[in-house]
Amino acid sequence: MVSYSQNIMDDEYEKFIRRMNPPRVVIDNESCKNATIIQVDSANKHGILLEVVLVLTDLNLVITKAYISSDGGWFMDVFNVTNQEGNKITDEAMLDYIMKSLGPDSCFASSMRRSVGVTAGMDHTSIELIGSDRPGLLSEVSAVLTNLKCNVVNAEVWTHNTRAAAIMQVTDEEHGGAITDPERLSTMKQLLCNVLRGSNKLRDAKTIVSDGVSHTERRLHQLMFADRDYERTTGEGLDDKDRPNVNVVNWQDKDYSVVTIKCKDRPKLLFDTICTLTDMQYVVFHGNVDAEGPQAHQEYCIRHVDGSPVKSDAERQRVIQCLEAAIERRVSEGLKLELCTTDRVGLLSDVTRIFRENSLTVTRAEVTTRAGKALNIFYVRDSSGYPVDAKIIESVRQTIGQTILRVKGNIEELNPVPQESPTRFLFGGLFKSRSFCNFGLVRSYS
């Protein structure tokens, strides 16, 4: 067990190295026709790649290409980035923020702030939830919190492989601050655990209450990883045609393991894969990312933090399963609905109850409150497993308010979901043409 004094010494040593070798950031808007190039050079340490990716991801920038190199004591990364519209980053305030966040005066502290509003202090109580997924679960959780006179001001909900995880930030209905009464918190934890556990006595349900600061999406990955949601049973998960293609082979001449990922591109894909490799205690020494088309290609040379490549076929399978899970957790199955209205206590409970009463189940959710306004996104499916009925959606919109709840996307474009699939009942330089494998340098497991 590492002592407190040892942690202090390690922290002081890192600060010393940082002073001697401050990070250098170069932003180039001239060399590339359709992207801004951001180069970051810094003294190397475990997790630094994730810290840089966090800063860019939290600004909602799109990373179209990346080159990673961190052999020895130095880290160098080059990103091609655009805004959400596919244009270069020209906003001076954002460019200045990137320089300050990644440059010599930063400790990447800004990456701890999430768009869902994680802040330090006592203005809210943070609740972490993990348990068995089923239709209507979000509605039940929200109802419990409303009955306890709690207002959900921010939340993010993920589901995968029959498991559900959420991080919710709640305030007291009466005074609008954090909930501090120990007896009330204990009651909250007990009731939420009962709801999360449901009828599944074989899997644990957990509720953690804190007032600390954490990065919401990274924490959700950690919760689901610790819950072993990557362990797949027959028939669970995405269809084979939609599954990411992940492979791990050993490059024996260089003592690396090479991870290759090919899948449909989507926002924050790079963050999800780097986050998982980092939390699994692997170090990326070299890497290339190409996500300019509809398909994303990622390739990494990795070793475990102890310096060894992947040692066995069992470890190899675990890396593959964990990366597949990391990619699939954020896949947004269902019709996207956006709700915008004045916030009030019980709003989330009322909306999700209406969904449940109309046989809609929530597959993913983002709940945000800004300046007294609720800005919520829900991905919903029909609880029966069939495509969403346009008449039901229209009825729900009339009940909630057509100007309040808007449909994003086309209902007819949703693919039918097999009714017999229980896992569809969810919680409410070296790019692809020049891979290491193509160079003939990689030997697969025998």
1-102 has which CATH code? Answer: 3.30.70.260
Mean pLDDT for 208-236 is 83
Q: What topology is assigned to 125-229+333-408 in CATH?
A: Alpha-Beta Plaits (3.30.70)
Backbone angles phi, psi at 194, to 5 degrees: -65, -40
pLDDT digits over 263-289, tens only?
A: 999 999 999 999 999 999 999 999 999
Q: What is the mean pLDDT of the chain?
A: 83
Give the pLDDT score at 122.
60
Q: Could you tell me the CATH superfamily of domain 245-329?
A: ACT domain (3.30.70.260)
Backbone angles phi, psi at 133, to 5 degrees: -85, 145
What separation in angstroms does the CA of 441 have from each of 12, 313, 343, 380, 431?
A: 41, 19, 58, 46, 15
pLDDT digits over 125-156, tens only?
A: 999 999 999 999 999 999 999 999 999 999 99
Give the pLDDT score at 71.
75
The answer to whether the beta carbons of residues 39 and 26 sit under 8 Å apart is: yes
pLDDT > 70: percent of the chain = 80
Pinpoint the residues of the chain covered by CATH 3.30.70.260. 1-102, 125-229+333-408, 245-329
Q: How far apart are the first and last CA of the chain?
A: 38
Sign of the Cα torsion 310, 315, 318, 322 reads: negative
Mean pLDDT for 207-232 is 87
CA distance linking residue 298 with residue 309, whole number of Å: 18
The answer to whether the beta carbons of residues 78 and 37 sit under 8 Å apart is: yes
Give the pLDDT score at 259.
98
Q: Could you tell me the two tokens for 65?
A: 């290409």
- Is residue 40 pLDDT above 70, yes or no? yes
pLDDT digits over 284-324, tens only?
A: 999 999 998 899 999 999 999 999 999 999 999 999 999 99
What separation in angstroms does the CA of 335 have from each of 167, 350, 393, 410?
A: 22, 19, 10, 8
Would you report the helix, strand and coil content of the chain in percent, each value rounded to 5? 30, 30, 40
Complete DSSP assignment for 132-186? E--TTHHHHHHHHHHHTTEEEEEEEEEEETTEEEEEEEEEETTTSS----HHHHH
CA distance linking residue 382 with residue 246, whole number of Å: 30
